[in-house]
């Protein structure tokens, strides 16, 4: 039987490319997200490669919906070898004094509490089998703070702290815990951040070549193909034209 990976937020961007990469490595997949049609399309695309793909359609902010979705899986699919905690977003880019409370809730409820909601369900099986790998998609915003990034950066700093905390707590159980910390990646991320304003989103990547979702999936491929005794704690990657969260080099 093939090993199983669960990827949250597989309807778009990094999650979608990571699902494709893991199918290529011959993992059966559980793919999650709120857009069911996209999950079904991905299942259709990947199943001919010989892996089983199970869509789970729920909002990760909703703890009871998350539990219900998990419990709907047959027992053999509740054996997760790799968990990719990817579902996440930035909402808004405002200074703290004019920030929108709904945006703040969305970010913390998804990036932090959503990650906890799903992870809590998966850890017991990993502990039982004394095996597993949890990869949290963090960000350069998990170690740096930039103007108007306030709450998003705080949520990703929390992801970094949780990654370290999980690694310590799960140490006796032989479970690997890692994070990936990309800089700019062109996905639907900026469209979501700017509430659908595609012009504002395009401006983020103007004059430079950002990372794409495949670049990040390839970094994850490296992490999941290390031998059992090797864990990559954190893998930070950026476009060549980006030196930090603040310094970019753009063509004029």
Residue 7 interacting with ligand NDP (CB under 6 A)? no
Stretch that binds ligand NDP, among 127-135, 166-174, 184-192, 238-246 (CB under 6 A): 184-192
The binder of 219, among ligand NDP, ligand 8X3, none, by C-beta within 5 to 8 A per type, is none
Residue 42 interacting with ligand 8X3 (CB under 6 A)? no
**Which residues in the 124-163 window bind ligand 8X3 by CB under 6 A?**
139-141, 149
List the catalytic residues: 152
Task: Give a three-class secondary structure readout of the chain.
Answer: CCCEEEECCCCCHHHHHHHHHHHHCCCEEEEEECCHHHHHHHHHHHHHHCCCEEEEECCCCCHHHHHHHHHCCCHHHHCCCEEEECCCCCCCCCCHHHCCHHHHHHHHHHHHHHHHHHHHHHHHHHHHHCCEEEEEECCHHHCCCCCCCHHHHHHHHHHHHHHHHHHHHCHHHCEEEEEEEECCEECCHHHHHCCCCHHHHHHHCCCCCCEEHHHHHHHHHHHHCCCCCCCCCEEEECCCCECCCCCECCCC
Stretch that binds ligand NDP, among 3-11, 123-131, 168-176, 236-244 (CB under 6 A): 3-11
The binder of 163, among ligand 8X3, ligand NDP, none, by C-beta within 5 to 8 A per type, is none
Query: Which residue has the CB atom at the shortest distance from ligand 8X3?
Result: 139
Shortest CB 113 distance to ligand NDP, Å: 10
Residue 245 interacting with ligand 8X3 (CB under 6 A)? yes
Q: Which residue, 15 or 149, is less far from ligand 8X3 as judged by CB?
A: 149
Shortest CB 227 distance to ligand NDP, Å: 26
Per CB under 6 A, residues contacting ligand NDP are: 9-15, 33-35, 59-61, 86-89, 110, 137, 139, 182, 184-185, 187-189, 192, 213
Per CB under 6 A, residues contacting ligand 8X3 are: 139-141, 149, 183-184, 245
């Amino acid at each position: 039987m093939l090993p199983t990976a669960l990827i949250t937020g597989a309807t778009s961007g990094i999650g979608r490319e990571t699902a494709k990469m893991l199918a290529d490595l011959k993992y059966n997949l559980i793919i999650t997200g709120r857009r069911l049609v996209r999950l079904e399309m991905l299942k259709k695309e990947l199943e001919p490669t010989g892996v089983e793909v199970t869509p789970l359609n729920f909002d990760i902010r909703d703890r009871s919906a998350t539990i219900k979705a998990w419990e709907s899986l047959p027992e053999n699919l509740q054996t997760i070898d790799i968990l990719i905690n990817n579902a996440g977003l930035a909402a808004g880019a405002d200074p703290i004094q004019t920030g929108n409370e709904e945006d703040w809730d969305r970010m913390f409820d998804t990036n932090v509490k959503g990650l906890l909601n799903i992870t809590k369900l998966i850890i017991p099986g990993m502990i039982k089998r004394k095996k597993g790998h949890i990869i949290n998609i963090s960000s350069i915003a998990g170690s740096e703070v930039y103007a108007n990034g306030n709450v998003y950066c705080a949520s990703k700093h929390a992801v970094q702290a949780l990654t370290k905390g999980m690694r310590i707590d799960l140490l006796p159980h032989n479970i690997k815990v890692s994070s990936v910390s990309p800089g700019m990646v062109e996905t639907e991320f900026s469209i979501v951040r700017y509430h659908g304003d595609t012009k504002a989103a395009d401006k983020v990547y103007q004059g430079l070549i950002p990372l794409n979702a495949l670049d990040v999936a390839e970094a994850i491929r490296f992490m999941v193909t290390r031998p059992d005794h090797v864990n990559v704690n954190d893998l930070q990657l950026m476009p060549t034209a980006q030196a930090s969260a603040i310094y970019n080099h753009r063509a004029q």
